Amino acid sequence: MKRYDYLIVGTGLFGAVFAHEMMQRGKSCLMIEKRDHLAGNIYTEEVEGIQVHRYGAHIFHTSDKSVWDYINRFATFNHYVNSPVAIYHDELYNLPFNMNTFSKMWGIKTPAEAKKIIADQIADLGITEPQNLEEQALSLVGRDVYEKLIKGYTEKQWGRPCSELPAFIIKRLPLRFTYDNNYFNDRFQGIPEGGYTQIIEKMIHGADVLLNTDYFTFIKGHEGIAKKILFTGAIDAFFDYCYGPLQYRSVRFETEVLDTDNYQGNAVVNYTAREVPYTRIIEHKHFEFGKQPKTVISREYSSEWKVGVEPYYPVNNEQNTALYEKYRALGATRPDVIFGGRLGQYKYYDMDKVIAAALKAVNDEEAAFL
Ligand code: FAD
Ligand code: UDP
């Protein structure tokens, strides 16, 4: 049996960056992946000439120039700017929350008018330090925007009342008093031409890879296969849920090819009313300004995770944060294992943060081999 420097569990972005950097440093890597394809949740595949984001829309955005330069070594990014729209019953609004949203909602024109309406709507609530997502959202945008564009969407997405969710989730979204529909404030943004999977393929060139291989089955009989393990699966699963499972949200995607060239006129349309069972519809071709005769759309349904289902989003509330701390402490007793990525570190990481965290893990390792 060949002995490797690293056994890397998971071929998502974290595992791939780590493998790439370690191979550059002359280390050998075996990557194992339980799915039948590479790239984790950023996997894209071509359907009808369109790059389909199989695990949900992935828009790369960052303010970190070094991360932007890093990812651009593996692909050319287009000039896509994410500007979703939200549909609430028969009303359509621009996102993120900006003057276009407020003007449509209240028939006003100026930032001063919008600020006055928001201030009036929250004057009697007495929120000084928002304690949860509901208080945070109300204090930022007032009651109308909260009721129409946040409450229903968030409760579908997270399956919990907004009053029981952490405030930071809503702080991900910009709030602006300018007419600017860019969903992100970051300096750099785009979609890789030709999709994300090719990025991972390039990164892991030179590694040995086994698909359809679950770590927990594989490791029995291969205990000594590597000097060290990078584990990018769920940390509670690694420890056989010994303190009980962490909570995650899962997502189901219903994807259809339609015989029309343009279904909804935008890549991302959010459905913010509670009664609509899905949270958003993605029309993939618009990420690449596609002109194909057909189109591919995906409806996203959010659900609570249970053991055996694919986890997507960590639910970073107080209870889970405390439980994760126990798993993290247990992880620290295993110096032969590095835990990384959205599931390994139980963090609501975007792709740019995953790259930065993987590069940091490499630096920490490098310090250890000196
Ligand atoms: P993953 O991509 O989840 O990779 C982990 C891999 O490990 C998976 O392939 C999994 O199959 C494998 N694995 C797990 N357990 C085992 C095991 N026991 N044995 C073998 N293999 C195993 N970020 C952005 O920057 N922009 C966006 O627009 C954006 N949109 C998103 C939309 C959705 C719906 C979701 C869920 C996430 C989104 N993200 C976005 C976040 C982005 O997906 C993550 O930052 C990134 O994919 C995390 O990479 P990772 O390597 O940590 O995890
Ligand atoms: N959100 C909302 N209404 C929307 C879009 C987002 O209330 O139309 C809230 C919701 O709580 C969501 C959070 O903002 O979980 C972050 O949104 P983002 O688009 O960043 O979610 P992700 O892409 O991570 O699913």
Each residue of 215-253: pLDDT tens digit?
A: 999 999 999 999 999 999 999 999 999 999 999 999 999
- Domain membership of residue 279 (yes or no) is no
What atom of ligand 1 comes closest to residue 59's alpha carbon?
A: 28
Give the number of whichever ligand sits closest to the CA of residue 200. Answer: 1
**Ligand 2 binding site (Cβ under 6 Å of any ligand atom):** 86, 95, 149-150, 153-154, 157, 169-170, 172-173, 270, 272
Are both 65 and 8 inside the same structural domain? yes
The Cα–Cα gap between 139 and 178 comes to: 18
- Domain membership of residue 181 (yes or no) is no
120 C-alpha vs ligand 2 centroid, how far in Å? 25
- Domain membership of residue 257 (yes or no) is no
- Domain membership of residue 49 (yes or no) is yes
- Domain membership of residue 301 (yes or no) is no
- Domain membership of residue 88 (yes or no) is no
Any idea what the CATH number is for the domain that residue 33 is in? 3.40.50.720
Are both 162 and 108 inside the same structural domain? yes
The Cα–Cα gap between 243 and 326 comes to: 8
**Residue at which a domain ends, from 116, 134, 169:** 169
Are both 151 and 62 inside the same structural domain? no
Contacts 24+ apart (CB under 8 A), 114-122: 114/177, 115/177, 117/142, 117/144, 118/142, 118/145
- Domain membership of residue 101 (yes or no) is yes
| Per-residue pLDDT, 165 | 93
Probe residue for ligand 2, chosen from 157, 171, 266, 347 as the CB with the greatest number of ligand atoms within 8 Å: 157
Both structure tokens of 88: 């609430």
* pLDDT at residue 140 tops 90: yes
Are both 70 and 17 inside the same structural domain? yes
* pLDDT at residue 189 tops 80: yes
Are both 10 and 117 inside the same structural domain? no
Task: Determine the average pLDDT of the residues in 329-345.
Answer: 97
272 C-alpha vs ligand 2 centroid, how far in Å? 10
Helix (H) or strand (E) holding 91: strand 91-94
266 vs 129, which has greater pLDDT? 266
What's the mean pLDDT when you consider all of the chain? 96
Are both 228 and 109 inside the same structural domain? no
End-to-end CA distance of the chain: give it in Å, rounded.
27
- Domain membership of residue 39 (yes or no) is yes
Are both 102 and 164 inside the same structural domain? yes
The Cα–Cα gap between 255 and 47 comes to: 11
Do 296 and 255 meet the contact criterion of CB atoms below 8 Å apart?
Answer: yes
Question: Over the range 98-118, which residues count as b (16 or more CB within 10 Å of their CB) and which as e?
Answer: bbbbbbebbeeeeeeebeebb
Are both 128 and 206 inside the same structural domain? no
* pLDDT at residue 57 tops 80: yes
pLDDT tens column, 149-188: 999 999 999 999 999 999 999 988 999 999 999 999 999 9
**Residue at which a domain ends, from 169, 201, 217:** 169
* pLDDT at residue 370 tops 70: no
| Per-residue pLDDT, 369 | 77
| Per-residue pLDDT, 72 | 98
The Cα–Cα gap between 59 and 61 comes to: 6
pLDDT tier at 124, thresholds 50, 70, 90: confident
Question: How many domains in the chain?
Answer: 2
**Which residues are known catalytic residues?**
172, 176, 249, 280, 300, 348, 350
Are both 64 and 117 inside the same structural domain? no
Both structure tokens of 128: 């000084």
Are both 329 and 223 inside the same structural domain? yes
The Cα–Cα gap between 14 and 102 comes to: 39
* pLDDT at residue 79 tops 80: yes
42 C-alpha vs ligand 1 centroid, how far in Å? 6
Are both 151 and 44 inside the same structural domain? no
Q: What's the domain range around 128?
A: 96-169
* pLDDT at residue 356 tops 90: yes
Are both 220 and 342 inside the same structural domain? yes
Collapsing DSSP to helix, strand or coil, 231 comes out as: strand
Q: In this prediction, what percent of the chain has a pLDDT beyond 70?
A: 100
